[in-house]
Structure 1
Amino acid sequence: MKRGSYIVFILFTVFVFFPLLTTCHRTEKKQVVHNFDYEQIRNRGRLIAITDFNSMNYFIYKGQPLGYQYELLQEFSNHIGLPIQVIVQNDIHEAIHMLNTGEADVIAMNLTVTNERMKVVSFSVPITSTRQVLVQRKPGISGNSGMVLATPEFVKTPAALAHKLIYVQKGSSYTDRLRNLSEETGAGIKIKEVPSTSEDLVEQVARGDIDYTVCDENIARVAAMYYPNLDYSVPVSLEQNLAWAARKDSPELLGILNSWLGSFTRTTRFSVIYRKYFDNARTSSIVNNEYFVLRTGRISQYDELIQKYSAQINWDWTLLASLIYQESHFNPNARSWAGAYGLMQLMPSVLDQFGIDTLASPEKNIEAGIKLIAYLDQQFDPSIPKDDRIKFILAAYNIGLGHVWDAQRLAEKYGQDPKKWDNVEYFLIQKKYPRYYLDPVVKNGACKGDLAVQYVKDVLHLYHHYSNIIASLEK
């Protein structure tokens, strides 16, 4: 090909195909969702909420999901009669993007209400308010290690921040506030945005890794309970409102949320929840506990055993941990009124079946439980999808295989697919009524199937939170 023709060919390729490629790339991006409001959320059957995981808003402690935002979400869930699905996202910009592309319905964080954010989300009525404060080390005060850390110049006023390097959470409102403060005072503040959470940055100040950060005063106050060398006496803003956020095209959801918040935030229950996480000296003992998952990554002292044996049945280890917590709260000496023993609450007959003594070690108890789960798994049609299959196994573990089989037979008799949990769940609940437990296809009599159905929901609810937190820590 001649040189001139080659150049023409290249230019033709660039101008014709490059726009097509970039157009294709753009179409892969998620677009802003429209017309998905409260009615559509109810039809879906759950509210999806984004929150951040830290020692105040959402965490696992001694096997239980806890947190200020988590408890508020549970209260709102009870109010609207819908379960809540929690998504963890600590990046505020990404959380707003996820909200506007339909991956979630609300952002349940301590979001500072700002003019910039109001352009892209609809804020709820204020839930609380706080100031932004400078966090630094006190001169001559030792940290948790007992050592007195080197202290930079102690800042007493915002004007003294001139030329200081301040670390802040990326995407937070602290950046804008410091920029405005720098212009207001002519201080020339150096701002470094990092992907760490405000809580992480406060801890870094306490350890001496960095000298200054800015965060909400309520966060700093809690941190100072377990880091006595922290000072947060210098405000860098006036009082600012904190709220949740919804999409701009969800006015019905926002109205329901605002109506509930307007009344709930005036109740004693709200005050109790708030004080529990922001005005409670026991917070330090929780954070420093070995089974505060956010800090240690551990759910229980049996994590290694649970990971080892869950692999034998191809289960996520946090699912097995959820079952064990539901059974015994990780107490190896637990014994039920019916005589079930140990971490996995196995009946003596089951332990005998697998050659294990009732006083055997926690590991042996888990080993027997795994064998029981594997046995139950083999009793169901292999074509049942994994998500439904787990529900069948959990129900059988709780109430007995025979009752689940009965419910499957009832489902089939009434023209429902016996391989779908939603169908079997219904008939398991009906087995407390004579019309159903006296049916000729029922071989195991009456049962309180509603308790087994709730057991399945409780285990999977806990599993959702365990996997949420552990997955976030592993990123």
Structure 2
Amino acid sequence: MRKLVLFLIVLVSLSACQNSHNKEVRKQKEELVAIDLDDIIKRGKIRVITDYNSTNYFVYKGRPLGYQLELLQALSNTLGLKLEIVVSNDVEKNFASLLEGKVDLIATNLTITRDRSHQVAFTEPHCITRQVLVQQKPSPDNNPSSAQELIRNQIDLGGKTVYVQENSAYVSRLKSLGNEIGDSIHIVEIPDYEVEQLIALVASGEIPYTVCDENLARINLNFYDNLDVETAVSFPQKIAWAVRPNANNFKDIVDNWLINFKKTNQYKRIYRKYFINKRSNHLVDANFHSIKGGVVSDYDAIIKEESAKYNLDWRLIAALIYQESRFLPEVKSWAGAVGLMQLMPQTAESFGVEEITSPKDNIQGGLKFLIWLDKRFAEDISDPDERLKFVLAAYNVGPGHVEDAMRLAEKNDKDPYKWDDSVDYYLLNKSKPSFYNDPVVKYGYCRGEEPFHYVSDILERYTHYKNVLND
């Protein structure tokens, strides 16, 4: 009888604890920042956090690339919304940023787990993979008696030390595997290292083992030919994005989009590009990969040196040069513009450029022109970030057309010193007779679509460069 009473007391206590836990979970969900699809549409942009590695998001030869980036661009294009990307490789901070309403979507390779499902709402999976052990191949240079043998049976992980990213799904999987094999796996969680950094440490011999998703592991074989990734430590797992638990409408939109998009040839091309095809097509030279070499172009040193003279961010100038010439110093446009910064001969002469195809001379002339334009707009536009948009447009199409658009904005009761949804609109439409024939217009017709996109393209690329390149 006493045993029965004790059992009932324990059962009631457990039930009370569970109810208390459920109430706490409900309370946390009620306290979540309420941001859903309508709020995102009103804002006009999706705020996304992703991680920085050689597959999801990186820059190669000045061009932003990545599996997650291309998926996100396709999503934002479908929804007609701008895409704002921030970068973080810290899993827990990413969850916190989502739940605090700082971002709308975590777009990384998140393994769907029960524990995580209590925190966030997972989307339709964007791919399926499994976790594998990353280890060094035995080296023929080693003494055969001391060479490390490859682990092929998970049981042999008993007693071994495995280093993994802190708070990652790999931690819980290794704990479960230890229970399954009836032995201890010593798990070391590394807080400041991303998965690929741990892979590099295995390749260099600084740590013996790590665990990561198989598709990412196989990509890294292109960089480290001394690694083995053939030993699985999990069954196939669903990999997804995450949204806030109360963002039901946004989740429905993303889910439906993913379900349909995964059926398209575009998705198949993106997946093959990053996870199946050899990287030789777009990663010919790892030196130009932001993860491996961090070099944007052959002219980084000159860009940095000359930009520093004017206290300009070299990444901004690199973004502009990519837009102008794709870093080709002798390219010439149909209009006669020449060189890395596509200077017109008369502009080059005005700013003392001696050899227009010389990378250094051309960059010096282009920077002098930018500074001249900045001073021209500085009196009316004090905010340097806002003024930059006017300067970039003027660099592309000339200050006269930009000033025409400013006058049109003012005439139509818009702010002539504000770019977005004001001056940009009138410059965009300056190819229409009703705009370029207006009495306030002094410089006539302009194919405004080019400078309109020129400004947004450079600023978007500049943001990507800031995300992944050191200043």
- Report SS of the residue matched to 1:286: coil
**Cα distance, 1:131–1:274 mapped onto 2, change above 3 Å:** same
2:427 is aligned with 1:431: no
Partner in structure 1 of residue 151 of structure 2:
155
Query: CA RMSD of the aligned region, Å?
Result: 2.0
AA aligned to 2:148 is: P
2:164 is aligned with 1:168: yes
Partner in structure 1 of residue 235 of structure 2:
238
Equivalent residues in 2 for 1:394-473, closer than 5 Å = 394-422=392-420, 423-471=422-470
Cα distance in 1 between the residues matched to 2:214 and 2:435:
59
| Conserved? CA contact 2:338–2:357, under 8 Å | no
1:159: how far off? 0.8
Partner in structure 1 of residue 349 of structure 2:
352
1:261: how far off? 0.5
2:188 is aligned with 1:204: no
Equivalent residues in 2 for 1:61-210, closer than 5 Å = 61-140=60-139, 151-194=147-190, 195-210=192-207
AA aligned to 1:294 is: I
**Cα distance, 1:449–1:51 mapped onto 2, change above 3 Å:** same
* Count of aligned residue pairs for this structure pair: 438
- What is the TM-score normalised by the length of structure 1? 0.88
Cα distance in 1 between the residues matched to 2:453 and 2:108:
29
Cα distance in 1 between the residues matched to 2:265 and 2:412:
49
| Conserved? CA contact 1:138–1:151, under 8 Å | no
2:302 is aligned with 1:294: no
1:284: how far off? 9.1
- What is the TM-score normalised by the length of structure 2? 0.89
5+ residue gaps in structure 1? 1-30
| Conserved? CA contact 2:370–2:395, under 8 Å | yes
1:287: how far off? 7.4
| Conserved? CA contact 1:348–1:358, under 8 Å | no
Cα distance in 1 between the residues matched to 2:224 and 2:73:
30
**Cα distance, 1:256–1:285 mapped onto 2, change above 3 Å:** closer
- Report SS of the residue matched to 2:434: helix
Cα distance in 1 between the residues matched to 2:307 and 2:34:
43
AA aligned to 2:163 is: Y
Percent of matched pairs sharing the same residue: 46
**Cα distance, 1:207–1:392 mapped onto 2, change above 3 Å:** same
5+ residue gaps in structure 2? 1-29
Cα distance in 2 between the residues matched to 1:172 and 1:414:
54
Spell out, residue by residue over 1:322-367, the C-alpha distance to the aligned partner (whole angstroms, 9 max, x if none): 0010000111111111111110000000011122235452111000
**Cα distance, 1:393–1:307 mapped onto 2, change above 3 Å:** same
Cα distance in 1 between the residues matched to 2:280 and 2:89:
21
Which residue, 389, 394, 408 being the options, matches 2:387? 389
1:283: how far off? 5.2
1:295: how far off? 1.4
1:285: how far off? 7.2
- Report SS of the residue matched to 1:47: strand
**Cα distance, 1:141–1:288 mapped onto 2, change above 3 Å:** farther
Which residue, 263, 270, 275 being the options, matches 1:273? 270
Cα distance in 2 between the residues matched to 1:376 and 1:364:
19
Dislocated runs of 4+, deviation >6 Å: none
